[in-house]
Every structure is written in C-alpha cells, then in structure tokens.
Amino acid sequence: MSDMGLISLEAVLLHLAILIVASRGLGEVFARLGQSAIVGEILAGVLLGPAVLNLMGVSMDIWLFTVLGIYFLLFLAGYEEIDLSYLATAMRPRTLFAAVVSLFVPLSLYLVVLHHWLGIELLPSVLVASVFALTSLSVVLRCLVDLGIAKTPEGVSLLSTTILNEFMGLLVAGIALELLVRPGGEELAMLPIKIVAFFALAALVGHFLVPRLITGVGKTFRVREASFATLIALILLFSYFATLVGLHGAIGALVLGFTLSRAKNDPIVAKSVEELKGVAYGIFIPIFFAGAGLYVTLDFLEIDPLAAATIVLTVPAGKLVGGYLSMWVLPAKRRSPAIAYGQLAKGGVEFAMLSLAVEAAALSTKLYSLTVLLIMGLTIAASTLLSIYVSSRRDWLSSHQPLG
C-alpha cells in the first residue's frame, strides 16, 4: 500500500461509481456467457487500473470499501458455503481422504515448483500454492446448479469433497498469510495456540450467544433494521478481536460465518443475512473484486518466460491430477470426471487472501498479477469443462435410450 494516498471527494465518488457500474456490467456479461461473474468483476478492475487504461488506482478511500468487502465476503463464505452441520456429515473417511488428496497433492507439487525450482521464498510459496490448490465451493455450487446436477451422486460427491478441500485450504492459506504479514520470533511460536484459542472461544460465542443476540434484538427493538445493524456490528467486532490475538480481521469474519451457519432456519437471522447480502453483493463485494483487479500490473511480464510458463502449465495439471486421484478414492458409484474438472474452480476467498498479502507487501505484484490472471483462466476452464462433460453425457444417454 506504499502508493496509496488520499484523493478528492469528487474523485472518490466518481471512481466508486465507475467501479460499481463496470464490475456489475462485466459481471453480467460473463454470467450470460455461462461463466462466473467474479471473472468479469476482476476484469473491470484490470481494465480500469494500471495494467490497461490506468484511470485509477487503489486510494485509501477505495481501500476502505475493499476491506469491508473482504470482511463481508468471508463472513458470507463461512455462512453460505461451509455449513458446519453439513461439514460434519461430509466427514466420511473416504470423502475426507479424497479431499486431502485433492488439496495436498497439487499443493505439494506447487511448493516444489515455486520454492525449490523457481526459488520463491517459502511463505509466499505456501500462500500461493494453497490458493492454487484449494477449490472454490461457491463457483462449484453455481456450476452444478446451472447444469442441473447438484443433487446427482457425482454432484454430491464433488460438493462434499470441495467443502472439506476449501475448509482445509483456507486454514493453510490463513496461517501462511499470518506468518507473512506478522513475522516475529516469539509471536510465531504462540500463533498456533492463539489460533486454536480464538477458534474455540469464537465458536462458543458464535454458537450459543450470537444467534440469541440477533434474534433478541430483532424481537425487542422497535427501531428499523436493528437486527441487521447488530449483525454488521458483530462482523466488525469478531474481526477486531481476531486482530487482537494476532490474526487478520477477515479470519474473525469467516469464523463468525461458520458458527452462525447453524442458525439459517432462524427467520430473524436469515432476514438479517439477506439484508447484508443485498448491500454486500450490490456494492462492497463487487468493489472488492474490482479492487483486486486494480492491483494487477504488467510487471508479471518481467517474470522469466520459462518460470511463468512453468507456473501456467503446472497449476491446471496439478489440479487435474489431484482431482482424478481424489475421484478414484471415492466408491465406484460416486466416481466421475466431473469431480476432477470441478477441482479447477476458483472463486472469491482466494483473492481476499492474495489482496491482503499484497497490501502488506508480503507478496510481489509480479507474482500476484500472474496468479490473479491464472485464477481467472481456471474459473473459466472449470465451468466450460463441466458444461462440456454434462452435455456429452446427456447426448450419450439420449442416444442409448431404448427405442419405443
């Protein structure tokens, strides 16, 4: 954030308006093309930023919107994507082993390439490798629903594996990020204890107190949207207390989302989250993704061509290898190439982790820019391959229908 500064109020208002319109517009274009809207939103930032048109950068004012976007995104990711009750149901031995294979096989390969072969420092290598290795549940779920196979055996297998994959990947990426942005001798030794203590305490508070608090406020207060305001305050408070124990605030928002997911059936909690989604997905999260694109520069062209080509080829290959190996771990009736193709899916939480590392100057803009562009390509590849597979399977089934 060394080049981040304050700009005039008029410029801030104009930049925010342009970011919202451009990110929503390009997001709509990609959604209509059957791709993730996230790709279009990031592309808006890439086009408006220093990489192409150079119309704007990440000022301090816009940065505040992107930070709130990160907090809301990770809260909603925890609340919507990783339901703790479903996570417990998915913890069958074979499914758990398949998720471990799908995450750590490509992660190990990426670490060898990034750290040992290309000479990138260990912690940035671990962060980038874990971001590449984890699979985005939100993109997978959207693809499966759009293709109509979310409730098929292969769809359920892919969802169960992805839930565990993303959960473990976020833990690895979160620890690597904390070690990057807060280096220090004794503090590093205490980090695992702090993480466990925070998760335990936050889980207890989130499980027993938070739903009751939101519901109680909603039933007691007469002022409008009191429960919604309480939810916003809780997200910020969990984020604040996470920073007090040495974690990033976004991890606190993520934990709150995890724990509150059990209260989805509570009408007041559900209404409050729906109101948050309107504000978050309408304004803050698109600005965050566009902001992620604003950090992209053409500096990645300075990376050695052989090194860049190695990364570009290794990442999809590693994900497909891990996906196919995890597919064969599952029972025969649940095996499908869709499980391997779905492993390519990337989404929003990864960009949050990477943006935080760039802001803390813990990750170079060269590696960040290449990583963001590659993740965009993987997102397109995942939805395209799944669509082709489903279409070909339907064509095969229709051609093998017995004649009347």
- Angle at the Cα of 76 from the Cα atoms of 198 and 99, rounded to 5 degrees: 75
Checking if the pLDDT of 143 tops 80, the result is: no
* Three-class secondary structure of residue 274 per DSSP: helix
Checking if the pLDDT of 18 tops 90, the result is: yes
Token pair of 256, please?
């709150």
Domain range holding 375? Answer: 69-285+300-392
Higher-pLDDT residue of 129 and 78 is: 129
* Mean pLDDT (whole number) for 14-21: 92
Most confident region among 57-61, 226-230, 326-330, 343-347 by mean pLDDT = 226-230
Residue 185 CA to its chain's centroid (Å): 30
Task: Answer whether residue 114 is part of any domain.
Answer: yes
Most confident region among 36-40, 50-54, 134-138, 288-292 by mean pLDDT = 50-54
Q: Which residue, among 371, 357, 372, 365, has the nearest Cα to 299 in the 3D structure?
A: 365
C-alpha 57/C-alpha 54 separation (Å) is: 7
Q: What is the pLDDT at residue 189?
A: 62
Checking if the pLDDT of 140 tops 90, the result is: no
Q: Answer for the pair 121, 367: CB distance below 8 angstroms, yes or no.
A: no
Position 250: which residue type? A
* Mean pLDDT (whole number) for 107-121: 90
Lowest-confidence segment of 21-30, 79-88, 212-221 by average pLDDT:
79-88
C-alpha 345/C-alpha 359 separation (Å) is: 25
Task: Answer whether residue 13 is part of any domain.
Answer: no
Higher-pLDDT residue of 240 and 333 is: 240
Confidence of residue 380 (pLDDT cuts 50, 70, 90): confident
Q: Which residue has the tokens 């750590």?
A: 104
Checking if the pLDDT of 191 tops 70, the result is: no
Distances (CA, A) of 351 to 102, 288, 380, 390: 20, 9, 16, 28
At 72-93, the pLDDT tens digits run 987 887 787 655 555 565 567 8
Task: Answer whether residue 278 is part of any domain.
Answer: yes
Checking if the pLDDT of 243 tops 80, the result is: no
Checking if the pLDDT of 376 tops 90, the result is: no
* Mean pLDDT (whole number) for 20-32: 90
Confidence of residue 404 (pLDDT cuts 50, 70, 90): very low
Global pTM?
0.73
Most confident region among 106-115, 116-125, 135-144, 148-157 by mean pLDDT = 106-115
State the sign of the Cα–Cα–Cα–Cα dihedral 206, 209, 214, 215: positive
* Mean pLDDT (whole number) for 180-196: 65
Lowest-confidence segment of 97-101, 251-255, 348-352 by average pLDDT:
348-352
Task: Answer whether residue 22 is part of any domain.
Answer: no
Task: Answer whether residue 223 is part of any domain.
Answer: yes
Q: What is the pLDDT at residue 119?
A: 87
Q: What is the pLDDT at residue 81?
A: 63
Q: What is the pLDDT at residue 217?
A: 93
Checking if the pLDDT of 397 tops 50, the result is: no
CATH of the domain at 333: 1.20.1530.20
Q: What is the pLDDT at residue 151?
A: 65
Task: Answer whether residue 402 is part of any domain.
Answer: no
Residue 190 CA to its chain's centroid (Å): 27
Q: What is the pLDDT at residue 176?
A: 82
Checking if the pLDDT of 398 tops 80, the result is: no
At 269-310, the pLDDT tens digits run 999 999 999 999 888 988 888 888 888 888 888 888 998 899
Say how many domains are in the chain: 1
Q: Which residue has the tokens 């698109």?
A: 286
- Angle at the Cα of 301 from the Cα atoms of 372 and 287, rounded to 5 degrees: 30
Task: Answer whether residue 403 is part of any domain.
Answer: no
Checking if the pLDDT of 216 tops 90, the result is: yes
Task: Answer whether residue 43 is part of any domain.
Answer: no
